[in-house]
Amino acid sequence: MLIILYIFTIGLLTSYSTFGKSVEDKSHYEFSLDTLKLYDQSRQREIPIAIYKPTSKVSGKQKIVIFSHGYGQNKGGDYLAYSYLTEFLATKGFFVVSIQHELATDSLLPLTGNPQIVRRPFWERGSGNILYVINELKKTNPDLDFKHITLIGHSNGGDMTALFPQKYPNIVEKIITLDNRRMALPKSKKVKVYTLRSSDQPADEGVLPTEKETKKYKMKIVKLANTTHNEMDDNANVEQRKEIQEYIVKFIND
């Protein structure tokens, strides 16, 4: 069944829709998935996105979740590689946008040198993508709850998620990172910070807050004893998916 997204007219190149299956739990919603391409004229940048949203009306203003994928070596399609989480959040009533940050024409992520320096431009670009998407949503979906925006990102996408509120303050309410390892988490009382850590990959020095900072800024750090860094996308098994889903919903509703 084709859904025409008349609300996204700027830079719209393609769109298609699929419907999620009904679930027995009546607290869940059926959802639709729509993919399209936005175009940021100011940066001459194409931004593919996937929108996961309930197909029936949600009571109250609908909260927004913006998702950023981990590094995929510019192969494309990574914004669809976390369906266990993006689809799940849509069934919970959230308006979810997953952004494809890497294009085939982009330079590959540097694997040598100081990551905080050589990868910073990539995180800056990702933060710019997130900002553009939020601003487009304000134009096209003004009834969404822009006071309660949550950013979620895995790995390199978690690094750009961690950078966003530091570069663009007072826009998002919460950030949730899935094992970001390079960009320091923001230390601010203006944004709530949550992070799920893998069992196998340590963060660089200074990325995670000290115990004192964690308490001061009411940050939450959870280590997943049975989930590796590369098992946080759709590679996760049933148990891993359930654990991550439960933590994410808890964090958003905290």
Question: At a CB cut-off of 8 Å and minimum separation 6, what does 241 contact?
Answer: 84, 85
Q: Which two tokens stand for residue 80?
A: 């669809």
Q: Is 7 inside any structural domain?
A: no
- CATH code at position 215: 3.40.50.1820
Domain holding 67, by residue range, is 16-253
Q: Which two tokens stand for residue 128?
A: 């710019």
Q: How many other C-beta atoms are found inside a 10 Å radius of the C-beta of residue 27?
A: 8
Question: How confident is the prediction along the chain (254 residues), in pLDDT tens digits per residue?
Answer: 334 333 333 333 333 334 343 333 446 899 999 999 999 999 999 999 999 999 999 988 999 999 999 999 999 999 999 999 999 999 999 999 999 999 999 999 999 999 999 999 999 999 999 999 999 999 999 999 999 999 999 999 999 999 999 999 999 999 999 999 999 999 999 999 999 999 999 999 999 999 999 999 999 999 999 999 999 999 999 999 999 999 999 999 99
Q: Is 200 inside any structural domain?
A: yes
Short-list 221, 210, 254, 198, CA closest to 63? 254
Residues 97 and 36 sit within 8 Å (Cβ to Cβ)? no
Q: What is the DSSP string of 69-129?
A: PPP-TT-S-GGGTTHHHHHHHHHTT-EEEEE----TTSPPPP-SS-HHHHSHHHHHHHHHH
Question: At a CB cut-off of 8 Å and minimum separation 6, what does 111 contact?
Answer: none
pLDDT score recorded for residue 60: 87
Q: Is 2 inside any structural domain?
A: no
Q: How many other C-beta atoms are found inside a 10 Å radius of the C-beta of residue 164?
A: 29
In the chain the first and final C-alpha atoms are separated, in Å, by 36
Short-list 63, 65, 37, CA closest to 49? 37
Report the predicted TM-score, pTM, of the whole model to 2 decimal places: 0.90
Q: Is 233 inside any structural domain?
A: yes
Residues 160 and 180 sit within 8 Å (Cβ to Cβ)? no
Residue 50 CA to residue 14 CA, distance in Å, equals 11
Helix axis angle for 120-140 and 156-167, nearest 10°, is 70
- Looking at the structure of the chain, the number of domains it has is 1
Residue 122 CA to residue 160 CA, distance in Å, equals 8
Q: Is 5 inside any structural domain?
A: no
Q: Is 8 inside any structural domain?
A: no
